[in-house]
Structure formats: structure tokens, C-alpha cells
Amino acid sequence: MSLLGAAEIRELAELLDLRPAKSLGQNFVIDGNVCQKIVRVAGVTADDIALEIGPGLGSLTLALLEVTSNVIAVEIDQRLADRLPITVAEHKDSDYKLTVINTDALALRELPVAPTVLVANLPYNVSVPVLLHLLEILPSLNTGVVMVQAEVADRLAAKPGTKEYGIPSLKASWWAQVSGAGSVSRSIFWPVPGVDSKLVSFKRHETPGDEVMRKGVFQLVDAAFAQRRKMLRAALSGIFGSSAKAEAVLIAAGIDPTLRGESLLIDSFCAIYNASQSVK
């Protein structure tokens, strides 16, 4: 089966009269080898049901279908969603199942089948919300690799105490262990983007609590980083009513109130949440 290269991508774009929209992060991969590498890094097997967000012209979709015969593709742009089955049929024999859903990934609530792996070159302006949303609504997603803007990849995989560590790192770590998985050259895209890209991989783990707790913990995380330089007792004073109350909760949780959010793992935010339920 052939993959899409620069010439095919341009032909398809011409055929569809497509001018890549920056607002939709439409930078298409023109190098089939890179797509195969992403699928390899994701560890996709024949048993997987793969979910791809933003299949675009189908570069990564075709690489996925070399390994698994079951792919669900969610694409916001109707022209691209309508064309994808045709492109795939032109490149592949009939022993596969491709489900194309023409919608905004952020509006997804459920899927017809439960995907096991996420592989996507995510639209850069919504990559973090899309990833967090999918982890929330699709508990069957065990693993995945996504390509995102380099800075976003660094933030998602950051460790406490670094300048990259913050809301994306903490919220992603509620659901999964996230790691950097390599850089990607700008030259493999058409059009060439103005930013560098990286891969991040994730492996789902058990969440530290239920949905009620997650919402409470995420509220604490948002408050702790609303003003990053503030000590926790000041940053959380709004949530707890005063800095004295925030300090009492932090002490009950065994956390130094003069620390900043950037030094805490998600477990510590869970401890603060649990303490807040008993210290009134």
C-alpha cells in the first residue's frame, strides 16, 4: 500500500481547491516515513482500534491502516472528512474499517466503538483541550502518541520545579503518564509551520479519584497557576475564603503553605482537596 508524499498532498489539495486554514491548524504531513514512525512509536498493533483526530488529507490514516484495520477519524473540515474514504479506498484493499466522523473533537461525547489508542497530528491551537477531553470521555483509550507544538509537548511532559510545569502537565497527569517521544522537522509539513513540533506519548493509569474529586482538584490547579509566582496560601485564598483558611487546609494536607503550585505533583493537589473536605 502506498503512502502520501508531497506530490499527492498537493494534488489532493488542488482537487479539493483547499487553501490550508491556519485557524484549523492545517499543516499536512508530506512524508510517509514520518507517519510510519509515529505509528511505530505509538506501538499500534493489529488488535488496536485507533482513533485519529484531524486526519486531514489522510497521511497518518494510511500509515495507521498498514498496522490496524480499524480506524476512527474525527475531522472538523467537511471537505476533508468527505474525501478521506475515497483517498483510503484508492490506496488500500477492502479489508479495513474506516469510520469518519465530521465534527469538532471538542464536541465529541461518545464514539460508535471504543478506541484503544490515539494517534494524531493534533490541530495546534486546541491540542491540550482536545487531549484532556479525549482522556476524560474515552476511558478505553489506553495509550497514544500525539504530535503537538514543541512548547506544548514540553509543558505536557514537564516535571515539577521546571518553568514548563503547569496546568497542562498537572491535568494530563491526572489521567496518564506523559513523556516526550522525539522531535519532528518542520520540513515534513505542507505548508511549513512557523513553529517546531514534537511527539508526546501517554499511558493511562488509574485516576486518583472520581469525577467530583477531579473537578475539585482541577479547580485547585487552575487557582494555583492563575498567578504562578504566588505562594499557595495566597493563590488558594479565593477558593477557601481567606489566606488563613487556605493555610489551615494546606497544613492539614501536610503541605508547606509557602510553596508554589509549580513544585507539587497531582497527588499533593489531591491531598489538598481531601483536606479541604474535612477542614471547614
Radius of gyration of the chain (CA): 21
Is 178 a binder of ligand SAM (CB under 6 A)? Answer: no
Which residue number, 39 or 255, has a Cβ lying nearer to ligand SAM? Answer: 39
Q: How far apart are CA 19 and CA 198, in angstroms?
A: 24
CB of 104 to ligand SAM, least distance (A): 4
CB of 128 to ligand SAM, least distance (A): 12
Is 117 a binder of ligand SAM (CB under 6 A)? Answer: no
Contacts of 208 (CB under 8 A, 6+ apart): 174, 217, 266, 267, 270
DSSP string, 165-187: -SHHHHHHHHHEEEEEEEEE-GG
Choices 74-82, 159-167, 239-247, 248-256; region in contact with ligand SAM by CB under 6 A: 74-82
Which residue number, 123 or 144, has a Cβ lying nearer to ligand SAM? Answer: 123
CB atoms < 10 A from the CB of 104, how many? 13
Choices 69-77, 88-96, 202-210, 262-270; region in contact with ligand SAM by CB under 6 A: 69-77
Choices 104-112, 149-157, 200-208, 260-268; region in contact with ligand SAM by CB under 6 A: 104-112
Is 59 a binder of ligand SAM (CB under 6 A)? Answer: yes
The set of cell numbers assigned to 113 is 466503538
Which residue number, 116 or 121, has a Cβ lying nearer to ligand SAM? Answer: 121
* Phi, psi for residue 195 in degrees, rounded to 5: -135, 160
Applying CB under 6 A, among 32, 55, 166, 261 the residue interacting with ligand SAM is 55
The percent helix, strand, coil of the chain (3-state, each to 5) is: 45, 15, 35
Applying CB under 6 A, among 56, 166, 216, 257 the residue interacting with ligand SAM is 56
Contacts of 209 (CB under 8 A, 6+ apart): 217, 270, 273
CB of 103 to ligand SAM, least distance (A): 7
Is 53 a binder of ligand SAM (CB under 6 A)? Answer: yes
Applying CB under 6 A, among 42, 51, 76, 236 the residue interacting with ligand SAM is 76
CB atoms < 10 A from the CB of 197, how many? 23
CB of 107 to ligand SAM, least distance (A): 8
Is 178 in contact with 156 (CB distance < 8 Å)? yes
Is 105 a binder of ligand SAM (CB under 6 A)? Answer: yes
Is 184 a binder of ligand SAM (CB under 6 A)? Answer: no
Is 240 a binder of ligand SAM (CB under 6 A)? Answer: no
Q: How far apart are CA 44 and CA 185, in angstroms?
A: 22
Q: How far apart are CA 220 and CA 213, in angstroms?
A: 11
Q: Which residues in this chain contact ligand SAM in the complex, by CB under 6 A? A: 24-29, 53-56, 59-60, 74-77, 80, 104-106, 121, 123, 126
